[in-house]
Amino acid sequence: MYFGGNRLTGRSFSLQLLTGFAADSCEGRYKNVSYFYSIRNKNISAEWKTRDFVVVGLGVPVCIFILFANLLVMMAIIVNRRFHFPIYYLLGNMAAADLFAGISYLNLIFHTGPWTIGLTQNEWLVRGALIEMSLTASVVNLLAVAWERHQSIFTMQLHSTMSNRRVLMFIVGIWVIAIIMGLVPTMGWNCVCNLKACSTVAPLYARSFLVFWAVLNLITFSIMVAIYTRIFIYVRRKSQSTLPYMLNVRQNDTLVGLMKTVSMILGAFVICWTPGLVILLLDGLQCTSCQVLKYEKYCLVLAECNSLVNPIIYSCRDEDMRNTFKRILCFLCRRDQEQEVEPSNIYSDTLKTDGLLTEKYSDNGNHNHRERISF
Protein backbone atom coordinates (compact mmCIF):
# COMPACT_ATOMS: atom_id res chain seq x y z
CA MET A 1 0.00 0.00 0.00
CA TYR A 2 1.43 3.35 -1.12
CA PHE A 3 0.63 6.83 0.23
CA GLY A 4 2.64 9.80 -1.06
CA GLY A 5 5.40 7.52 -2.31
CA ASN A 6 5.74 5.70 1.07
CA ARG A 7 5.02 2.04 1.40
CA LEU A 8 2.94 1.09 4.46
CA THR A 9 2.29 -2.40 5.62
CA GLY A 10 -1.19 -3.36 6.82
CA ARG A 11 -0.08 -3.53 10.45
CA SER A 12 1.67 -0.12 10.49
CA PHE A 13 -1.28 1.47 8.67
CA SER A 14 -3.71 0.12 11.28
CA LEU A 15 -1.43 1.33 14.08
CA GLN A 16 -1.32 4.84 12.63
CA LEU A 17 -5.09 4.87 12.26
CA LEU A 18 -5.56 3.80 15.88
CA THR A 19 -3.02 6.35 17.11
CA GLY A 20 -4.65 9.12 15.16
CA PHE A 21 -8.10 8.10 16.37
CA ALA A 22 -6.94 8.07 20.03
CA ALA A 23 -5.36 11.49 19.65
CA ASP A 24 -8.47 12.92 18.01
CA SER A 25 -10.83 11.32 20.53
CA CYS A 26 -9.16 13.11 23.45
CA GLU A 27 -9.68 16.75 22.59
CA GLY A 28 -8.45 18.27 25.85
CA ARG A 29 -5.37 16.19 26.53
CA TYR A 30 -2.92 18.97 25.67
CA LYS A 31 -5.13 21.93 26.61
CA ASN A 32 -4.21 24.22 29.49
CA VAL A 33 -6.44 24.72 32.53
CA SER A 34 -7.71 28.12 31.37
CA TYR A 35 -9.23 26.44 28.30
CA PHE A 36 -11.49 24.26 30.46
CA TYR A 37 -12.52 27.30 32.51
CA SER A 38 -13.39 29.24 29.36
CA ILE A 39 -15.62 26.54 27.86
CA ARG A 40 -17.59 26.40 31.14
CA ASN A 41 -17.81 30.22 31.35
CA LYS A 42 -15.88 30.31 34.63
CA ASN A 43 -13.71 33.37 34.39
CA ILE A 44 -10.21 33.52 35.84
CA SER A 45 -8.24 36.75 35.65
CA ALA A 46 -4.51 37.06 35.11
CA GLU A 47 -4.49 40.18 37.30
CA TRP A 48 -4.80 40.30 41.07
CA LYS A 49 -8.06 41.73 42.38
CA THR A 50 -9.11 42.84 45.84
CA ARG A 51 -10.95 39.57 46.41
CA ASP A 52 -7.80 37.58 45.64
CA PHE A 53 -5.80 39.58 48.18
CA VAL A 54 -8.53 39.07 50.78
CA VAL A 55 -8.61 35.30 50.14
CA VAL A 56 -4.85 34.98 50.60
CA GLY A 57 -4.64 37.49 53.47
CA LEU A 58 -7.35 35.82 55.55
CA GLY A 59 -6.91 32.26 54.34
CA VAL A 60 -3.26 31.82 55.27
CA PRO A 61 -3.65 32.80 59.00
CA VAL A 62 -6.76 30.61 59.28
CA CYS A 63 -4.92 27.64 57.77
CA ILE A 64 -1.96 28.17 60.10
CA PHE A 65 -4.32 28.23 63.10
CA ILE A 66 -5.99 25.02 61.82
CA LEU A 67 -2.60 23.33 61.66
CA PHE A 68 -1.60 24.53 65.14
CA ALA A 69 -4.95 23.67 66.80
CA ASN A 70 -5.16 20.16 65.39
CA LEU A 71 -1.51 19.47 66.21
CA LEU A 72 -2.38 20.49 69.78
CA VAL A 73 -5.26 17.99 69.84
CA MET A 74 -3.01 15.19 68.61
CA MET A 75 -0.32 16.07 71.17
CA ALA A 76 -2.90 16.11 73.97
CA ILE A 77 -4.11 12.62 73.07
CA ILE A 78 -0.52 11.34 73.02
CA VAL A 79 0.52 13.03 76.29
CA ASN A 80 -2.52 12.32 78.48
CA ARG A 81 -2.97 8.66 79.40
CA ARG A 82 -6.67 9.23 80.05
CA PHE A 83 -7.08 9.54 76.30
CA HIS A 84 -5.41 6.22 75.50
CA PHE A 85 -8.66 4.54 74.43
CA PRO A 86 -10.03 3.64 70.96
CA ILE A 87 -12.53 6.52 70.83
CA TYR A 88 -9.79 9.09 71.46
CA TYR A 89 -7.44 7.45 68.98
CA LEU A 90 -10.16 7.83 66.35
CA LEU A 91 -10.76 11.44 67.39
CA GLY A 92 -7.01 11.97 67.10
CA ASN A 93 -7.20 10.58 63.57
CA MET A 94 -10.05 13.02 62.96
CA ALA A 95 -7.69 15.79 64.02
CA ALA A 96 -5.12 14.37 61.59
CA ALA A 97 -7.73 14.59 58.82
CA ASP A 98 -8.42 18.21 59.79
CA LEU A 99 -4.67 18.86 59.79
CA PHE A 100 -4.48 17.40 56.30
CA ALA A 101 -7.44 19.58 55.32
CA GLY A 102 -5.52 22.63 56.54
CA ILE A 103 -2.59 21.64 54.33
CA SER A 104 -4.98 21.11 51.41
CA TYR A 105 -6.57 24.54 51.85
CA LEU A 106 -3.15 26.15 52.15
CA ASN A 107 -2.14 24.51 48.89
CA LEU A 108 -5.42 25.65 47.32
CA ILE A 109 -4.88 29.25 48.43
CA PHE A 110 -1.46 29.37 46.73
CA HIS A 111 -2.89 27.80 43.56
CA THR A 112 -6.04 29.85 43.14
CA GLY A 113 -7.01 33.12 41.44
CA PRO A 114 -4.37 34.30 38.92
CA TRP A 115 -2.14 31.38 39.91
CA THR A 116 -4.71 28.95 38.46
CA ILE A 117 -3.78 29.95 34.90
CA GLY A 118 -0.26 28.58 35.27
CA LEU A 119 -1.35 25.15 36.53
CA THR A 120 -0.99 22.02 34.43
CA GLN A 121 -3.83 19.51 34.28
CA ASN A 122 -2.08 17.17 36.72
CA GLU A 123 -1.38 19.99 39.20
CA TRP A 124 -5.01 21.05 39.08
CA LEU A 125 -6.22 17.46 39.61
CA VAL A 126 -3.82 17.00 42.54
CA ARG A 127 -5.13 20.23 44.07
CA GLY A 128 -8.66 18.82 44.01
CA ALA A 129 -7.53 15.36 45.11
CA LEU A 130 -6.09 16.72 48.38
CA ILE A 131 -9.44 18.24 49.38
CA GLU A 132 -11.31 15.05 48.43
CA MET A 133 -8.90 12.98 50.52
CA SER A 134 -9.42 15.17 53.60
CA LEU A 135 -13.22 15.00 53.25
CA THR A 136 -13.22 11.23 52.68
CA ALA A 137 -10.90 10.65 55.64
CA SER A 138 -13.20 12.70 57.89
CA VAL A 139 -16.37 10.94 56.68
CA VAL A 140 -14.98 7.42 57.04
CA ASN A 141 -13.45 8.35 60.41
CA LEU A 142 -16.82 9.55 61.69
CA LEU A 143 -18.32 6.24 60.55
CA ALA A 144 -15.63 4.41 62.53
CA VAL A 145 -16.40 6.57 65.59
CA ALA A 146 -20.11 5.78 65.19
CA TRP A 147 -19.35 2.06 65.04
CA GLU A 148 -17.08 2.27 68.12
CA ARG A 149 -19.70 4.19 70.13
CA HIS A 150 -22.42 1.77 69.06
CA GLN A 151 -20.33 -1.22 70.17
CA SER A 152 -19.43 0.39 73.50
CA ILE A 153 -22.73 1.88 74.59
CA PHE A 154 -24.99 -1.00 73.61
CA THR A 155 -22.73 -3.33 75.62
CA MET A 156 -22.95 -0.95 78.62
CA GLN A 157 -19.27 0.07 78.51
CA LEU A 158 -17.65 3.47 78.71
CA HIS A 159 -14.88 2.42 76.29
CA SER A 160 -14.77 -0.41 73.80
CA THR A 161 -12.48 -3.40 74.27
CA MET A 162 -11.06 -2.98 70.77
CA SER A 163 -7.33 -3.68 70.71
CA ASN A 164 -4.75 -1.10 69.65
CA ARG A 165 -3.85 -3.27 66.67
CA ARG A 166 -7.44 -3.22 65.48
CA VAL A 167 -7.65 0.55 65.92
CA LEU A 168 -4.45 0.91 63.89
CA MET A 169 -5.95 -1.24 61.14
CA PHE A 170 -9.04 1.00 61.15
CA ILE A 171 -6.89 4.13 60.83
CA VAL A 172 -4.77 2.68 58.01
CA GLY A 173 -7.93 1.52 56.21
CA ILE A 174 -9.45 5.01 56.54
CA TRP A 175 -6.47 6.64 54.83
CA VAL A 176 -6.26 3.97 52.12
CA ILE A 177 -9.92 4.62 51.22
CA ALA A 178 -9.31 8.39 51.32
CA ILE A 179 -6.31 8.14 48.98
CA ILE A 180 -8.18 5.92 46.51
CA MET A 181 -11.21 8.24 46.44
CA GLY A 182 -8.98 11.27 46.00
CA LEU A 183 -7.11 9.73 43.06
CA VAL A 184 -10.20 8.53 41.17
CA PRO A 185 -10.48 11.69 38.98
CA THR A 186 -6.72 11.69 38.38
CA MET A 187 -6.85 8.06 37.25
CA GLY A 188 -9.40 8.80 34.53
CA TRP A 189 -12.82 9.83 35.83
CA ASN A 190 -12.54 13.36 34.47
CA CYS A 191 -13.67 15.26 31.39
CA VAL A 192 -10.32 15.78 29.69
CA CYS A 193 -11.34 13.49 26.83
CA ASN A 194 -15.04 14.38 26.94
CA LEU A 195 -15.37 18.15 27.06
CA LYS A 196 -19.17 18.06 26.92
CA ALA A 197 -19.22 16.31 30.31
CA CYS A 198 -17.20 19.01 32.13
CA SER A 199 -18.73 20.57 35.21
CA THR A 200 -18.89 24.28 36.02
CA VAL A 201 -17.61 24.41 39.61
CA ALA A 202 -14.69 22.06 38.89
CA PRO A 203 -14.11 22.41 35.12
CA LEU A 204 -11.80 19.38 34.78
CA TYR A 205 -14.15 17.05 36.65
CA ALA A 206 -16.87 15.06 34.91
CA ARG A 207 -20.40 15.86 36.04
CA SER A 208 -21.02 12.16 36.62
CA PHE A 209 -18.20 12.05 39.18
CA LEU A 210 -19.58 15.07 41.04
CA VAL A 211 -23.02 13.42 41.24
CA PHE A 212 -21.47 10.15 42.47
CA TRP A 213 -19.27 11.86 45.06
CA ALA A 214 -21.99 14.20 46.37
CA VAL A 215 -24.66 11.48 46.59
CA LEU A 216 -22.27 9.03 48.27
CA ASN A 217 -21.29 11.57 50.94
CA LEU A 218 -24.86 12.81 51.52
CA ILE A 219 -26.09 9.23 51.98
CA THR A 220 -23.21 8.59 54.40
CA PHE A 221 -24.16 11.75 56.32
CA SER A 222 -27.73 10.50 56.62
CA ILE A 223 -26.60 7.10 57.88
CA MET A 224 -24.31 8.69 60.48
CA VAL A 225 -27.01 11.05 61.69
CA ALA A 226 -29.40 8.10 62.06
CA ILE A 227 -26.81 6.05 64.00
CA TYR A 228 -25.87 8.90 66.34
CA THR A 229 -29.51 9.81 66.91
CA ARG A 230 -30.28 6.22 67.91
CA ILE A 231 -27.26 6.07 70.22
CA PHE A 232 -28.05 9.43 71.80
CA ILE A 233 -31.69 8.48 72.45
CA TYR A 234 -30.53 5.18 73.97
CA VAL A 235 -28.02 6.94 76.23
CA ARG A 236 -30.58 9.49 77.40
CA ARG A 237 -33.10 6.79 78.20
CA LYS A 238 -30.60 4.54 79.96
CA SER A 239 -29.03 7.43 81.89
CA GLN A 240 -32.41 8.04 83.51
CA SER A 241 -33.08 4.38 84.36
CA THR A 242 -30.51 1.58 84.60
CA LEU A 243 -27.26 3.15 83.41
CA PRO A 244 -26.53 5.12 86.63
CA TYR A 245 -26.62 1.86 88.59
CA MET A 246 -24.30 0.08 86.17
CA LEU A 247 -21.73 2.91 86.02
CA ASN A 248 -20.57 5.27 88.73
CA VAL A 249 -21.48 8.95 88.62
CA ARG A 250 -18.22 10.06 86.97
CA GLN A 251 -18.42 7.36 84.29
CA ASN A 252 -22.05 8.21 83.59
CA ASP A 253 -21.25 11.91 83.23
CA THR A 254 -18.25 11.09 81.06
CA LEU A 255 -20.34 8.83 78.82
CA VAL A 256 -23.07 11.42 78.30
CA GLY A 257 -20.53 14.24 77.86
CA LEU A 258 -18.53 12.22 75.33
CA MET A 259 -21.68 11.46 73.34
CA LYS A 260 -22.60 15.16 73.32
CA THR A 261 -19.09 16.06 72.14
CA VAL A 262 -19.17 13.48 69.32
CA SER A 263 -22.69 14.60 68.34
CA MET A 264 -21.54 18.23 68.15
CA ILE A 265 -18.59 17.19 65.97
CA LEU A 266 -20.95 15.33 63.63
CA GLY A 267 -23.41 18.23 63.59
CA ALA A 268 -20.69 20.75 62.76
CA PHE A 269 -19.37 18.48 60.02
CA VAL A 270 -22.78 18.05 58.38
CA ILE A 271 -23.57 21.78 58.61
CA CYS A 272 -20.21 22.81 57.14
CA TRP A 273 -20.02 20.28 54.30
CA THR A 274 -23.64 19.75 53.20
CA PRO A 275 -24.04 23.09 51.32
CA GLY A 276 -20.91 22.42 49.27
CA LEU A 277 -22.03 18.89 48.42
CA VAL A 278 -25.46 20.19 47.38
CA ILE A 279 -23.78 22.73 45.08
CA LEU A 280 -21.69 19.94 43.51
CA LEU A 281 -24.80 17.78 43.09
CA LEU A 282 -26.74 20.60 41.39
CA ASP A 283 -23.78 21.29 39.13
CA GLY A 284 -23.50 17.61 38.25
CA LEU A 285 -27.22 17.53 37.38
CA GLN A 286 -26.76 20.56 35.06
CA CYS A 287 -28.99 22.92 36.98
CA THR A 288 -28.43 26.01 34.83
CA SER A 289 -30.74 28.25 36.89
CA CYS A 290 -29.07 27.42 40.23
CA GLN A 291 -26.17 29.89 39.88
CA VAL A 292 -23.71 27.49 41.47
CA LEU A 293 -20.73 29.79 40.88
CA LYS A 294 -22.41 32.50 42.97
CA TYR A 295 -22.32 30.34 46.12
CA GLU A 296 -19.20 28.26 45.40
CA LYS A 297 -16.72 30.42 47.37
CA TYR A 298 -18.99 30.70 50.42
CA CYS A 299 -19.44 26.93 50.55
CA LEU A 300 -15.67 26.41 50.35
CA VAL A 301 -15.08 28.87 53.22
CA LEU A 302 -17.75 27.08 55.29
CA ALA A 303 -16.09 23.73 54.64
CA GLU A 304 -12.73 25.18 55.69
CA CYS A 305 -14.28 26.39 58.96
CA ASN A 306 -15.10 22.81 59.92
CA SER A 307 -11.42 22.00 60.44
CA LEU A 308 -11.25 25.05 62.72
CA VAL A 309 -14.39 24.21 64.73
CA ASN A 310 -13.45 20.73 65.96
CA PRO A 311 -10.52 21.79 68.24
CA ILE A 312 -12.79 24.49 69.71
CA ILE A 313 -15.44 21.84 70.46
CA TYR A 314 -12.83 19.64 72.16
CA SER A 315 -11.58 22.49 74.36
CA CYS A 316 -15.07 23.70 75.32
CA ARG A 317 -16.70 20.31 75.93
CA ASP A 318 -13.94 18.17 77.46
CA GLU A 319 -12.37 19.47 80.68
CA ASP A 320 -9.54 16.94 80.57
CA MET A 321 -8.73 17.97 77.03
CA ARG A 322 -8.82 21.64 78.00
CA ASN A 323 -6.50 21.09 80.96
CA THR A 324 -4.11 19.10 78.77
CA PHE A 325 -4.04 21.97 76.27
CA LYS A 326 -3.10 24.32 79.11
CA ARG A 327 -0.35 22.00 80.33
CA ILE A 328 1.18 21.72 76.87
CA LEU A 329 1.04 25.47 76.23
CA CYS A 330 2.37 26.30 79.71
CA PHE A 331 5.18 23.79 79.26
CA LEU A 332 6.17 25.36 75.95
CA CYS A 333 6.02 28.88 77.43
CA ARG A 334 7.90 27.87 80.58
CA ARG A 335 10.59 26.18 78.51
CA ASP A 336 11.14 29.36 76.51
CA GLN A 337 11.28 31.43 79.69
CA GLU A 338 13.79 29.07 81.28
CA GLN A 339 16.04 29.34 78.25
CA GLU A 340 15.93 33.13 78.51
CA VAL A 341 16.40 33.27 82.29
CA GLU A 342 19.08 30.59 82.56
CA PRO A 343 22.12 32.82 81.78
CA SER A 344 21.03 35.49 84.26
CA ASN A 345 20.45 32.84 86.92
CA ILE A 346 23.96 31.53 86.39
CA TYR A 347 25.32 35.06 86.67
CA SER A 348 23.36 35.80 89.86
CA ASP A 349 24.40 32.45 91.35
CA THR A 350 28.04 33.29 90.58
CA LEU A 351 27.68 36.67 92.29
CA LYS A 352 26.08 35.05 95.32
CA THR A 353 28.91 32.48 95.52
CA ASP A 354 31.56 35.20 95.22
CA GLY A 355 29.82 37.20 97.93
CA LEU A 356 29.69 34.24 100.28
CA LEU A 357 33.34 33.48 99.68
CA THR A 358 34.26 37.10 100.30
CA GLU A 359 32.29 37.13 103.54
CA LYS A 360 33.87 33.86 104.59
CA TYR A 361 37.41 35.08 103.99
CA SER A 362 36.71 38.42 105.62
CA ASP A 363 35.29 36.64 108.67
CA ASN A 364 38.34 34.39 108.85
CA GLY A 365 40.60 37.40 108.55
CA ASN A 366 38.81 39.23 111.34
CA HIS A 367 38.93 36.13 113.52
CA ASN A 368 42.71 35.75 113.03
CA HIS A 369 43.18 39.44 113.70
CA ARG A 370 41.27 39.15 116.97
CA GLU A 371 43.37 36.14 117.94
CA ARG A 372 46.56 38.06 117.28
CA ILE A 373 45.34 40.99 119.40
CA SER A 374 44.45 38.70 122.32
CA PHE A 375 47.99 37.32 122.37
Q: Domains of the chain by range and CATH? A: 33-323 (1.20.1070.10)
pLDDT at residue 249 tops 80: no
- 313-343 residue pLDDT tens: 877 777 888 888 888 888 877 765 655 554 4
Q: Specify the pLDDT at position 348.
A: 43
Q: Specify the pLDDT at position 96.
A: 93
- 23-66 residue pLDDT tens: 456 777 788 888 888 888 787 777 777 777 887 888 889 899 99
User: What band does 15 get if pLDDT is binned at 50, 70 and 90?
Assistant: very low
240-253: average pLDDT: 55
Q: Specify the pLDDT at position 174.
A: 93
187-194: average pLDDT: 88
Backbone torsions φ then ψ of 64, nearest 5 degrees: -65, -40
User: What band does 228 get if pLDDT is binned at 50, 70 and 90?
Assistant: confident
Strands 6-7 and 2-3: antiparallel
Q: Specify the pLDDT at position 239.
A: 63
Pick from 170, 180, 153, 176: nearest CA to 91: 170
Other CB atoms within a 10 A radius of the CB of residue 72 amount to 19
Apex CA 262: angle with CA 258 and CA 263, to 5°? 115
Distance CA 356, CA 230 (A): 74
Look over the chain and give the mean of its residue pLDDT values, rounded to a whole number: 77
- 338-359 residue pLDDT tens: 555 544 443 444 434 444 434 4
- 137-186 residue pLDDT tens: 988 898 888 888 777 777 767 667 778 888 899 899 999 999 999 999 98
Distance CA 153, CA 156 (A): 5
R_g of the chain, CA atoms, integer Å: 31
pLDDT at residue 209 tops 90: yes
State what percent of residues in the chain have pLDDT above 90: 20
Q: What is the largest CA-CA distance in the chain?
A: 137
State what percent of residues in the chain have pLDDT above 70: 76
Q: Specify the pLDDT at position 180.
A: 93
- 95-139 residue pLDDT tens: 999 999 999 999 888 888 778 888 888 889 999 999 999 989 988
Cβ–Cβ < 8 Å for 60, 132: no
